[in-house]
Amino acid sequence: MDWVKAGKTEFPPILLGTSPFYGLDQFGEKKVSEYARKFDKVEVLAEIIKQAIKTGVEGAHMGSPEIRHLPLWDGHVLPPIYEAFELAEEESGIKLAILPHLLFCDVDTKAVEKFDVRAFIGDGNAVDNYMYSGFGYTGNEELDIDRILSMKKCARDVGKEFGIATHCPATTLPRLAAVKELWDAIKIIMVPINKTGYAVRPRWDESCEEALRAARDSGKAIIAMKVFASGRIPPREGIKYVSRKEYVDAIVLGVGSPEEAKETFQIASQIWKKR
């Protein structure tokens, strides 16, 4: 499959995601506790990553390494994801194309110096400004343009392209497009796309699709995340739905075991090759 071009870089159209590894509460209280116990060892995570690589995965999106040291609501500490990727690459002999999360500039850029970084993706909560204006989830929170510009500068300072994640495409993207300096610098947009509208704020509707079409028409690469709605949608159903969206260039898929990795990425490859 052809890689996706984004500014001066490129990346594969099927990416391994890491949300399940973090055990965040989006998966429900039972899963959070289960994942916290399951993914606290480097070797366990590395086996999943290696299986994804064996199944043809050539790239990944990784969360900020800084948040792994912060205890979550149930007291567990987030797992050693970066060490696991290092081990998986060493044992498989394969270097993945990496799109790392960008939230804490110095920490995040230094953490990925050993990886083949293609672009940094600005944290969605920071872009939509939920972290600073409160969890209203209206999609109308005031954006912190200066903070997004600082993330962009951070990526550019280390010679990488810049992208963003957003959960509010209909409201955030038009406001970013009004800031020419920022909009021109954004080469990748990562956004939840699934048939239930899960994780899109304030809701998934035609205005979201219009904003994404306009973004892609202006030269941005669009990556679909939350394709399975955090386990609420079966893999084949979720991937088929997203594959029909003509404005989507790539997908990022989270898995919770080597078996899931093999099944999920085989399905993804079959469907994506037929687009």
Percent of the chain past pLDDT 70, that is, above it, reads 86
Helix residue ranges per DSSP H, the chain: 19-22, 29-38, 42-54, 81-92, 105-111, 124-128, 130-133, 145-157, 169-177, 180-185, 206-217, 235-243, 258-273
* Model pLDDT for residues 228-263, shown as the tens digit of each residue: 998 899 999 999 999 999 999 999 999 999 999 999
- Confidence at residue 72, expressed as pLDDT on a 0 to 100 scale: 46
Residue type, 179: V
Q: Compute the average pLDDT of residues 214-223.
A: 98
In this structure, what token pair is assigned to residue 15? 């990416």
Lowest mean pLDDT among 54-68, 170-184, 203-217, 232-246: 54-68
CATH number of the domain enclosing 157: 3.20.20.100
Alpha-carbon distances, residue 9 vs 56, 69, 160, 209, 275 (angstroms): 20, 31, 8, 25, 22
* pLDDT for residue 66 is more than 70: no
Cis peptide bond upstream of 192, omega within 30: no
Q: Compute the average pLDDT of residues 190-194.
A: 97
| Confidence band for 182, pLDDT divided at 50, 70 and 90 | very high
* pLDDT for residue 69 is more than 90: no
Q: Compute the average pLDDT of residues 60-81.
A: 63
* Model pLDDT for residues 92-104, shown as the tens digit of each residue: 999 999 999 999 8
Nearest residue to 94 (alpha-carbon basis) of 108, 115, 112: 115
* pLDDT for residue 144 is more than 80: yes
- Average pLDDT for the chain: 89
* pLDDT for residue 39 is more than 70: yes
| Confidence band for 141, pLDDT divided at 50, 70 and 90 | confident
CA distance 108 to 122: 11
In this structure, what token pair is assigned to residue 197? 């509208």
Domain count across the chain: 1
| Confidence band for 67, pLDDT divided at 50, 70 and 90 | low
Range of the domain at 127: 4-273
Phi then psi for residue 184, to 5 deg, are: -65, -30
